[in-house]
Structure formats: structure tokens, C-alpha cells
Amino acid sequence: MTSLLEKIHDYIFRVKRTSSMKVDAYVVKHPTMSIELDALKQLIDTASLPHIFKHIVSTPDIHKGFGCPIGTVIASKQIVVPAAVGYDINCGVRLMLLPLPIKEVEKRSETLLSRIWREIPAGEGEENIQVDEFTLKEVCEKGLRFSSYSSTSWFKKYTSFIEPEELDWRVDADESSSTLSAADFKRVSYRAIERGSSQLATLGGGNHFIEIGYIKEVFNISGDLKRWASEFFTPEKELTYIMIHSGSRGFGHQIGDDYMKPAKSMRKREGILPNQGLGFFYKSEDWYEAYLGAMACAANFAYVNRALMGAIIRKIFVETLGVEPILVRDISHNIARFEKFGKQTVLVHRKGAVSARKGKIVLLPGSMGTNSFVLLGEEEKHASLTFFSSAHGAGRVMGRREAAGKRGRPGKVSWEEFEKSMEGIKWKTKSKRSALEEAPMCYKDVNLVVETTEKAGIASRALELKPKLVIKG
């Protein structure tokens, strides 16, 4: 199947259109990297959907997902595809900076790790802040602006640790605020409400993490990074960063499931289902607006979830070290939004992909044991081919069961290999198995992903970040 790839640039390939495909599919990848055959098959299936605008594209971190690959961008005018957003709606990354050298933070590393672990539950199904249905509706429909209306005791506890500027451009490059205005709580199921009512301020499991490290190298300070240039971007100081990767938890997962099932059954009856995960809704159907309304609720939930975790961490740092972290950016990588391309307004679905407009910050984490990068969007020649979208991380090369084993049989990653890969890093995980599932060798080389992103003219590296303390679910 890889013979279908036609080289059009050193780092960009086109999938030759087959009889079932409605549009071309472009693959942005490093020339030395192979593409997973299951992911390529899903990409071809996605290109078989009707009413796709121009073409579809995959980012360098592509790997198999549900319905369509993780690391896929599609734009449409007449349909919405829930699987092209994914189950973890508005999974994203929040970056904060601390005007303190990492060596000072490491002196209190045990206290910081234990407090964060205690105050922010990590792992599947964990609960933290309990809210009633009215409060959840406020969170879902108002996003972070919910804090302006709330009188609940738990929110008052953290309000002073949520920066007022979190309501402006620093929350997501594509949004004028931290709230998706299309949110419609009546489109959310009772089961989703049940699941979401106890999961605010929780990290989740899988690849979700909280990471503390330092700025290892500075490459380019321009665009949206200029604001902090004099204070933070002197690498000899090894100043501290904090990164949070999480999403909409069981709330968003339930919404995804609630809409993927009818999307599948409706299109299956019509005989236009490219694979079992790729259902969709036409714009003429009520389901279209219903999904967008529910998706926006999950997205706002995720913004508030990350903001609350950020507030808890900010509180811990103030109480432990007397220094307050500053928010740089909170960015989504699982979402659908209306965007303009020329004179056309289209619904851009990004699943495991990040908006990378000129000068805008792109957060690209590595694995739990490798460096991460802050990039700046470039909008060079081939960037429009990706709908101005970048990779969202390193991307898996090994499945969780393959890495950790199953049914009593060992996996491909030994505990000795894992410990060696984490030398110099203090870490906490929910279990030994979850550590093996997220071992650095389960992911692509993040340096090659970044090189590809630069060479394709999508985004250029600005900062390189090195982890020192890591929490995983």
C-alpha cells in the first residue's frame, strides 16, 4: 500500500487517488519514517468521505485511531465527522513558565510531586471536583468565563489562582476567548452529565501528563513569544516550564460515543460508510448542529479542566516556593472549528493536530522521557496544504498492549529498558503497567517530527524543553 505514496516534496507525499477516494490525501512525513499500514488505510477511507474541501492531510505523528488516524486534518462544507475530532474532545496542552531556575525547583521536587499527585487525581475514572447539573451547564456553555458568574465554594478556592488574562488570546490560538459560543447543553446526554459531574480538575490516564522541566535551548523568539522574551528566554538561566496535557475526560468521551453511534448507523443504512468508525452528519440534518453544540460543551469543559489543574499547580508553587507560574498558551488538538480559506468558510476537523498560523505558538510534546518543543507557525509555501496545521506530539509507534504485554505475557518494553530511558527524571505513574505503556520507545523520534514540520514550512522551532519531573496517569 505504501506504493501509493507519490513524492511531491522531500517531506510531503501524495496518496494516489484510488477509485473509492473522493479527494487526494497528503502525507507530511520524514523520508526515513515509515507510515503504519493501518493508519494509511484509515487515511484512504477518510478521503472516501463525501463533501470534503480540496483534500485531506496527515501530520508527521500519524498513527492508527478510531475511524480516521490520529494526526489527520480534514475540512468540509456540508458534513461533520465526529471520528475526525475523536473521543477526547479538546484534548490539549497548557504551557506555563516560572521565573525560577530548575535547580531551585528540584530542591523541592519531592514535595511538589507528592502534592500535585495528591491534589490532581491521575488515571482512568478518577474523580475530583463534584458539581451539580446547573453548575456543569454553566461550565459547558461559558467555559472559563464561568468564573465570572460562579459563587460556588470550590471555584472561589481557585479563582485567585486563575489569571484574568486566561480569558484572552492566551487560551488557544484559534479562539478570541476561552469559550466556544456554539455550546448547547441540551444536546448533552444524561450519561455524559453523570460522568462529567465529578471529573473537573482530573488528569486522566493514557498519554495525559503533567511535566515540569526547563528551557534547554532558545532558537527563535518572535510572534506570540515576544511578550516574555526578556524575562524567560535566556537558556543559561535554565528557567522552569510546566506543561499539562489533558482533555474532556469521560464527559467528552461519552459525547463522542453518543454521536459516533448514530452517525455510523445512519450512513450504514445508506451504504456510504467507508469504515465502521467513519460515520458523519449532513449539514441539512438536525444531528449536525446537535453534535457541534455538544462538542463545544465538551471543549469548554476541557478548557476549564486544564485551567483548574493549572490553578491548583499555581497554588502549590506559590505555597511551596513563593513564585507564581505564568500562563503562556492553552492549545487544543482534537476539535472542529469554522475557519476561512480565501473566500470559503469550512469546518476544519483536527484530530491530533494543532493550528499553526503565522507567528502563533504550537506546543509539540515528546514522550515522558524525551524533550518537547515550542514552535511558531510559519505559513510558508506548503503550509496551506495542511490547512495551517502542525503535528501535536511525537506519535506512537508501538501499541500499549504490544509495549506492556497482555494475558500474563511480557511486552516488548522491559522494566530495565524503561528505567534506563528515564534516567535523570523523577516520575510518578498510576501503575507499573501504565509506565511501560507510555515508555519513550513507544513513540516516534520527536526530533524527526520537528525537522519534518520545519522542512515542510509549517512551523519552526522556538524553544526546546527538557523534562525533569513527570506525572502520568
Tell me the catalytic residues. Answer: 392
Backbone angles phi and psi of 39, in degrees to 5: -70, -40
Backbone angles phi and psi of 423, in degrees to 5: -60, 135
Residue located via cell numbers 473509492:
20
Residue located via cell numbers 473521543:
87
Amino acid at 7: K
Helix crossing, 286-321 with 109-119: angle to 10°? 140
